[in-house]
C-alpha cells in the first residue's frame, strides 16, 4: 500500500439503504425526489397513550436475503438486520467480487446511536415476568451497538478495520469519516461504512416524548416533520439503515468500478455546550463544516448542495441556518440546502449514511431532493431550502451535515469524480 496518505483518493462505489421510503435504492430515490413521505401513525404498537403517535416505520421488510439462514435472522436485533441488509445491498451495488479480493484489506464501520432497543425491551419483559434464568443467551450479542458491524464482517469474512461509532445522530457520518481515514492512511483498500437504528418501540418513543423533543402533530402525520418551517414543533422518529462502500481510487479503477463521487473532507468537532441543545449560533457546526472544507481544499463558493441535518426542531434548524451563514457568507443564499427528514423522519444513528446516499445520487443524477412540508416561511430560516419540489441542478460539491445529542458534529465533503 502507498505510504503517503495524502495521495490516496477515496471514492464511493456502492450504496445500500433501508428506509421508510423503501429498501431498494431506486425505489427510495424515486419516492424521495417525487416528494413522497414515509411517515404515518405508528403500527408497531398501540401509540394511543403517547404524546407522539407518528413515525417513519420500515414496512414489508424481509432481511433473509442478506442472511445465511432464518436462524441467524432470529438471533439478530432489528437494527442489525437493517444494517446487514443495507451492507449487503451496497456490496451488490458496488460489484465487488469478494472472492477475488484480499479480505484482510476490507473493513466495516457500521454504527448505531442506541443499538438493540427491541431486544432490550423484550428481555426486560422476560426478566420481570419469568426471572433471570429465562433470559436469552443471545441477549447481549443482540443488543450491543457494534453487532451490525461485527456480524456483517463475519458473514462476508471481512478482516480489515472493524468497529462501530456511537455519537447519537452524528453516528453514521462519523463512521463514513473514519472509514475515509482508514483508507487514506493505508489501513484498508475498501470499507463498508454507515449506521443502523430501530427505536420505534414503546420505550424509545416514550423516552423522546418525555424530552418533549418530538412533533405532536398526530392528526396530520404526513406533515408532522417540517424542517425549517415556522410551524415545526419537533422531530419525527424514523428507522432504517444506510451503508456505503468506500474504495481507494486505484483499487476501484483497476476493477472498472462505477464511481458515484469522491470523498474529499471530513469535519469532526464538539460543541462542549449542552446535553441536547446546539451551541449558540451553531458555532460547533460551523467549525465542523469549515474543517471539512479545509481538508478538501475547497472554498465555500465551490459547494453546490448542502444536505442539512434539518431535524424540524425549533432551535436546531435555526442554529444550523446560522452556521451555514457563518461558513458560506454571501454564498449562503445561493447554495441549495435541503433536509430529507420531512420524508423519512429522523433516522438517528442511520441518518448520516442515508443522507450521504442522497448526496451521491444528487451528484449522479443532477437532481436535488426537496425539503417537503415547508409551507410557512420562518424569518430566522431564510436560505434556499428547495421547498417541496425537487430541482434539477448540476451538483459538483456537497456537504453532508449530521449533529448529535452530546454536542457531536460531523460533516462530510464530497465532489463529483473527475478522472
**Active-site amino acid positions:** 169, 309, 346
* Phi, psi at 418, each rounded to 5°: -130, 95
Question: H or E segment at 286?
Answer: helix 283-296
Question: Are 108 and 191 within 8 A, CB to CB?
Answer: yes
Question: Are 82 and 350 within 8 A, CB to CB?
Answer: yes
Closest CA to 242 of 102, 357, 365: 357
Cell of 381: 430560516
Cell of 387: 421547498
Distance of CA 27 to the CA centre of its chain: 17
Give, to the nearest 10 degrees, the angle between helix 171-184 and helix 351-365.
Answer: 70
Per the DSSP assignment, residues forming a β-bridge with 194 are 110, 243
Closest CA to 182 of 253, 80, 104, 88: 104
- Among positive and negative, which fits the CA dihedral 178, 181, 185, 187? positive
Per the DSSP assignment, residues forming a β-bridge with 414 are 263, 398
Grouping H, G, I as helix, E, B as strand and the rest as coil, residue 303 is coil
Strand 106-111 relative to strand 190-197: parallel, antiparallel, unpaired? parallel
Closest CA to 243 of 28, 87, 21, 22: 87
Cell of 123: 428481555
Q: What are the helix (H) ranges across 61-116? A: 70-74, 78-94
Question: H or E segment at 250?
Answer: helix 249-254
Per the DSSP assignment, residues forming a β-bridge with 305 are 336, 398
Q: What are the helix (H) ranges across 159-224? A: 171-184, 202-210
**Core vs surface per residue 300-339: b (16+ CB within 10 A) or e:** beebbbbbbbbbbbeebbbbbbbbbbbbbeeebeebbbbb
Amino acid at each position: 500500500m502507498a505510504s503517503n496518505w495524502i495521495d490516496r483518493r477515496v471514492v464511493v462505489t456502492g450504496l445500500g439503504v433501508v428506509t421508510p421510503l423503501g429498501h431498494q435504492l431506486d425505489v427510495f430515490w424515486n419516492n424521495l425526489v417525487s416528494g413522497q413521505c414515509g411517515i404515518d401513525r405508528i403500527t408497531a404498537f398501540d401509540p394511543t397513550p403517547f404524546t407522539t403517535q407518528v413515525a417513519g416505520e420500515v414496512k414489508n421488510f424481509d432481511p433473509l436475503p442478506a442472511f445465511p439462514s432464518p436462524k441467524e435472522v432470529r438471533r439478530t436485533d432489528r437494527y442489525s438486520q437493517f444494517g446487514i441488509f443495507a451492507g449487503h445491498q451496497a456490496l451488490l451495488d458496488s460489484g465487488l467480487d469478494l472472492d477475488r479480493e484480499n479480505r484482510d484489506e476490507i473493513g466495516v464501520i457500521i454504527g448505531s446511536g442506541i443499538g438493540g432497543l427491541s431486544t432490550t425491551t423484550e428481555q426486560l419483559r422476560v426478566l420481570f415476568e419469568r426471572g433471570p434464568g429465562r433470559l436469552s443467551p443471545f441477549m447481549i450479542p443482540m443488543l450491543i451497538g457494534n453487532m451490525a458491524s461485527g456480524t456483517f464482517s463475519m458473514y462476508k469474512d471481512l478482516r480489515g478495520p472493524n468497529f462501530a461509532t456511537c455519537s447519537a445522530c452524528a453516528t453514521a457520518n462519523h463512521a463514513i469519516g473514519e472509514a475515509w481515514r482508514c483508507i487514506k492512511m493505508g489501513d484498508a483498500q475498501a470499507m463498508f461504512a454507515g449506521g443502523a437504528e430501530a427505536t420505534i418501540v414503546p420505550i424509545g418513543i416514550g423516552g423522546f416524548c418525555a424530552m418533549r423533543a418530538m412533533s405532536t402533530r398526530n392528526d396530520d402525520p404526513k406533515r408532522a416533520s417540517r424542517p425549517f418551517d415556522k410551524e415545526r414543533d419537533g422531530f419525527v422518529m424514523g428507522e432504517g439503515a444506510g451503508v456505503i462502500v468506500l474504495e481507494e481510487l486505484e483499487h476501484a479503477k483497476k476493477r472498472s468500478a462505477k464511481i458515484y463521487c469522491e470523498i474529499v473532507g471530513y469535519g469532526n468537532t464538539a460543541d462542549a455546550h449542552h446535553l441536547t441543545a446546539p451551541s449558540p449560533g451553531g458555532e460547533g457546526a460551523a467549525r465542523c463544516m469549515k474543517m471539512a472544507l479545509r481538508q478538501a481544499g475547497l472554498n465555500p463558493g465551490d459547494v453546490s448542495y448542502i444536505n442539512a441535518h434539518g431535524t424540524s426542531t425549533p432551535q436546531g434548524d435555526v442554529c444550523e441556518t446560522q452556521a451555514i451563514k457563518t461558513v458560506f457568507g454571501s454564498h449562503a443564499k445561493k447554495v441549495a440546502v435541503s433536509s430529507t427528514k420531512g420524508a423519512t423522519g429522523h433516522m438517528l444513528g442511520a441518518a448520516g449514511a442515508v443522507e450521504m446516499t442522497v448526496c451521491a445520487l444528487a451528484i449522479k443524477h443532477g437532481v436535488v431532493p426537496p425539503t417537503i412540508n415547508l409551507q410557512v416561511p420562518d424569518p430566522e430560516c431564510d436560505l434556499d431550502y428547495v421547498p417541496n419540489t425537487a430541482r434539477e441542478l448540476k451538483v459538483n460539491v456537497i456537504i453532508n451535515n449530521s449533529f448529535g445529542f452530546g454536542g457531536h458534529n460531523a460533516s462530510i465533503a464530497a465532489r463529483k469524480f473527475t478522472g
